[in-house]
């Protein structure tokens, strides 16, 4: 089973516990070289190109070519025109992350502490959705949430939804889809850090007259914080940039920033699309920095 | 009295947590049940509803025009990307876990960054690079492959590195004490111990590659992978055959996991 090892929370923490054996040689650099080159060439250089593309003259086209005119106006336009979409992306991404945490924590907790010999079966069940195409699974939600579907019928019967209330093509459907899609990215790091906790610490809290809720709040929860931080980041970042769920489960009224970037690239408006993309990246980076600072887990990186 | 209460309280919380966990698992599995069910649906329709039972989709999945070509392309790209990413990533993981070098924290951040970037940003920046390098007309198989190796790489490094740092150095020390040289120690002791981690990383890389839509769509040009095919039909009448592929993928991967587990147990017993 590799699942518990997939997202051990960035990796920085492991290094502190287990310093690598002192082998200072050229081998290290040689081993690192090919992968590093690949990441430099196809991750870092493209990011730089993206930034420079975002400063091209917006009048350029694929045929006439683009000119770097340091058109910072692209950013002003991007933020002016698409402020709603940016807000919506952060809001939906944030809500999906919150729900994923509320759903994922009990699941990860149960796998780590209560599953006994079913531990690996449950872990396998958590990663099993990865094995079917996520587009097909998102399409399945389209069927499950349909107006004639069981879920809508039940909710109408319970008067949670009005008689003509619907789920498909609404904001809740989009948030539900986002939560669903990125839930495993929440559960795996949570599990990894819960599983590392020495159970004797929790028992000791009980011996010292902590009630189970107290022991959870004062011992288990703080010790699982690296998993919470890693899980929320791995959920929030892709969720905020997603446009699949809006397209399949929402309507144009729920348009997120990912949809705009995608359609602008499709239409060949590279400078505007690049400006949006860079802004999204910066927004997310700023939020992540702020969050890591607040959560006090600088060692995550 | 209080002890009984505490114990009762523990029983309730213990089972409550498990109950909630099972509900969450149900939430995760509802759509998969739909995928399996819809693979037996007999009509393609826009509303995507179950119309009637048939085995025809299973006996002839390629009857949906163009789908099998897309699946074949995804398989090719998936296999090549897996080989590339696993190779580069494993080397990097060894460097990170077993060697001292300068700039290690920069390397850590560099490996973490692709996992922390939204796909749409990675895809659009790659497209910006290809366009400004004059490859706008040559987008296709090669550019998809480059992109896939790039985004799978970090996940491979993290998975293999986790396996390496969880490993007991004592066994390697023992091999050295027994006069194995570094090369022998590596191939006889280290590599077999890390191998399951590498296989896991490769499986992860393959599933990431096979399933990717957002990045692929930006750099694919005229090529069509399976997720792109699904996206294309999702606006029209959705052919139930896509669910045959979805179900088959699930079955194959469960089979692989079960086989790996059987092999592992057999080896442990021997």
Provide ipTM, 2 decimals.
Answer: 0.85
Q: Which residues between 90 and 109 in chain B have a beta carbon less than 8 angstroms from any beta carbon of chain A?
A: 91-92, 94-101, 107-109
Q: What is the pLDDT of residues A110-128, one digit of tens each?
A: 999 988 888 888 888 888 8
- DSSP summary character for residue B42: -
Write out chain B residues lying below 8 Å of A134, CB-based: 211, 213
Query: Considering just the CA atoms, what is the radius of gyration of chain A in Å?
Result: 23
Q: How far is CA B251 from CA A128, A185, B211, in A?
A: 10, 22, 16
Q: What is the pLDDT of residues B165-192, one digit of tens each?
A: 877 778 888 888 888 888 888 888 888 8
pLDDT at B188: 86
* B143 at interface of A, judged by CB pairs closer than 8 A: no
When pLDDT is averaged across residues A275-281 and rounded to a whole number, the result is: 93
Quick one: closest CA in A to B109, which residue? A301
When pLDDT is averaged across residues B192-220 and rounded to a whole number, the result is: 91
B31 to chain A nearest CA, in Å? 5
Give CA–CA dist B48/B69, Å, rounded.
23
Report the CATH architecture of B65-238: Orthogonal Bundle (1.10)
Mutate to test the interface with A, among B6, B35, B121, B219 (most CBs of A within 10 A): B121
Q: Which residues lie below 8 Å from residue A252, measured CB to CB, with a gap of 6+? A: none
At residue A23 the predicted structure's pLDDT band, cuts being 50, 70 and 90, is low
From the list B35, B154, B165, which residue is nearest A137 (CB)? B35
Write out chain B residues lying below 8 Å of A142, CB-based: 48
Q: What is the pLDDT of residues B52-99, one digit of tens each?
A: 888 888 988 888 888 999 999 999 999 999 999 999 999 999 998 888
Give CA–CA dist A273/A58, Å, rounded.
10
Tell me if A28 and B234 make a contact (CB, 8 A cut-off): no
At residue A105 the predicted structure's pLDDT band, cuts being 50, 70 and 90, is very high
Contact A198, A192 (CB under 8 A): no
Q: What is the pLDDT of residues B225-266, one digit of tens each?
A: 999 999 998 888 888 899 999 999 889 888 887 887 787 777
When pLDDT is averaged across residues A94-122 and rounded to a whole number, the result is: 92
B203 to chain A nearest CA, in Å? 10
Any idea which of A2-16, A68-82, A205-219, A247-261 has the lowest mean pLDDT? A2-16
- Per-residue three-class SS string for chain A: CCHHHHCCCCCHHHHHHCCCCCCCCHHHHHHHHHHHHHHHHHHHHHHHHHHHHCCECCCCECCCECCECCCCHHHHHHHHHHHHHHHHHHHHHHHHHHHHHHHHHHHHHHHHHHCHHHHHHHHHHHHHHHHCCHHHHHHHHHHHCCCCCHHHHHHHHCCCCCCCCCCCCCHHHHHHHHHHHHHHHHHHHHHHHHHCCCHHHHHHHHHCCCCHHHHHHHHHHHHCHHHHHHHHHHHHHHHHHCCHHHHHHCCHHHCCHHHHHHHHHHCCCHHHHHHHHHHHHHHHHHHHHHHHHHHCCHHHC
* A133 at interface of B, judged by CB pairs closer than 8 A: yes
* B122 at interface of A, judged by CB pairs closer than 8 A: yes
Give CA–CA dist A199/A208, Å, rounded.
14
The CATH number fitting domain A77-295, selected from 1.10.3720.10, 1.10.1370.30, 1.20.1300.10, 1.10.10.60: 1.10.3720.10
Q: Which residues between 64 and 123 in chain A have a beta carbon less than 8 angstroms from any beta carbon of chain B?
A: 66, 103-104, 106-107, 109-111, 113-115, 122
At residue B37 the predicted structure's pLDDT band, cuts being 50, 70 and 90, is very high
pLDDT at B202: 93
* B266 at interface of A, judged by CB pairs closer than 8 A: no
Tell me if B91 and A46 make a contact (CB, 8 A cut-off): no
Give CA–CA dist A148/A154, Å, rounded.
10
Write out chain B residues lying below 8 Å of A273, CB-based: 124
* B267 at interface of A, judged by CB pairs closer than 8 A: no
Comparing CA positions, the residue from A12, A297, A38 lying closest to residue B109 is A12
Comparing CA positions, the residue from B41, B78, B77, B45 lying closest to residue B58 is B41
pTM: 0.86
Higher-confidence residue of B53 and A96: namely A96
Quick one: closest CA in B to A50, which residue? B125
B207 to chain A nearest CA, in Å? 6
Q: How far is CA B143 from CA A128, A155, B68, B130, B200, in A?
A: 29, 47, 21, 8, 25
pLDDT at A196: 86
* B239 at interface of A, judged by CB pairs closer than 8 A: no
Any idea which of A88-92, A242-246, B178-182 has the lowest mean pLDDT? B178-182
């Amino acid at each position: 089973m590799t699942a518990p090892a997939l997202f051990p929370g960035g990796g920085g923490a492991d290094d502190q516990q287990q310093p690598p054996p002192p082998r200072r040689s050229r081998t290290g650099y040689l081993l690192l070289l090919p992968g590093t080159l690949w990441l430099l060439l196809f991750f870092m250089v493209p990011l730089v190109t993206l930034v420079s593309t975002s400063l091209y003259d917006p009048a350029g086209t694929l045929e006439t070519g683009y000119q770097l005119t340091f058109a910072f106006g692209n950013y002003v336009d991007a933020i002016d025109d698409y402020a709603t979409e940016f807000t919506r992306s952060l809001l939906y991404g944030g809500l999906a992350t919150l729900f994923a945490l509320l759903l994922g924590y009990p699941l990860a907790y149960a796998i780590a502490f209560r599953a006994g010999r079913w531990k690996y079966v449950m872990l396998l069940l958590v990663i099993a959705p990865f094995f079917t195409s996520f587009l097909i699974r998102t399409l399945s939600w389209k069927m499950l949430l349909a107006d004639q579907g069981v879920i809508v019928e039940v909710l109408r019967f319970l008067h949670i939804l009005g008689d003509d209330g619907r789920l498909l093509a609404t904001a809740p459907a989009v948030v539900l889809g986002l939560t669903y899609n990125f839930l495993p990215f929440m559960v795996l790091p949570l599990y990894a850090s819960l599983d590392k906790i020495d159970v004797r610490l929790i028992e000791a809290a009980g011996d010292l007259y902590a009630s189970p809720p107290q022991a959870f709040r004062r011992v288990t929860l703080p010790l699982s914080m690296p998993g919470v931080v890693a899980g929320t980041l791995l959920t929030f970042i892709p969720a905020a940039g997603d446009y699949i769920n809006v397209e399949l489960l929402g309507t144009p009224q729920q348009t997120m920033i990912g949809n705009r970037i995608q359609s602008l690239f499709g239409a060949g408006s590279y400078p505007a699309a690049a400006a949006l993309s860079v802004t999204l990246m910066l927004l997310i980076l700023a939020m992540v920095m702020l969050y890591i600072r607040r959560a006090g887990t600088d060692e995550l990186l | 009295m209080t002890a009984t209460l505490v114990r009762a309280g523990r029983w309730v919380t213990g089972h409550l947590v498990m109950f909630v966990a099972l509900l969450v698992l149900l939430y995760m599995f509802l759509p998969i049940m739909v995928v399996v069910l819809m693979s037996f649906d007999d009509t393609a329709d826009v509303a995507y509803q179950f119309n009637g039972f048939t085995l025809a989709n299973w006996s002839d999945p390629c009857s949906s025009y163009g789908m099998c070509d897309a699946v074949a392309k995804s398989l090719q790209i998936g296999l090549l990307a897996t080989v590339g990413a696993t190779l580069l990533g494993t080397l990097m993981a060894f460097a990170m876990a077993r060697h001292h070098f300068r700039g290690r924290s920069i390397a850590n951040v560099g490996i973490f960054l692709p996992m922390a970037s939204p796909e749409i940003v990675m895809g659009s920046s790659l497209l910006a690079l290809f366009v400004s390098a004059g490859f706008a007309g040559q987008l296709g198989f090669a550019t998809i492959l480059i992109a896939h190796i790039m985004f799978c790489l970090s996940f491979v490094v993290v998975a293999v590195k986790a396996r390496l740092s969880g490993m007991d150095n004592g066994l390697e020390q023992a091999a050295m004490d027994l006069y194995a040289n570094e090369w022998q120690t590596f191939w006889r002791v280290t590599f077999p111990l890390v191998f399951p981690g590498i296989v896991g990383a490769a499986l992860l890389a393959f599933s990431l590659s096979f399933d990717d839509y957002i990045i692929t769509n930006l750099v694919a040009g005229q090529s069509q992978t399976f997720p792109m095919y699904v996206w294309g039909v999702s606006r029209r009448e959705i052919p139930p055959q896509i669910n045959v592929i979805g179900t088959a993928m699930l079955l194959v991967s469960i089979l692989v996991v079960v086989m790996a587990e059987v092999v592992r147990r057999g080896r442990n017993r021997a």
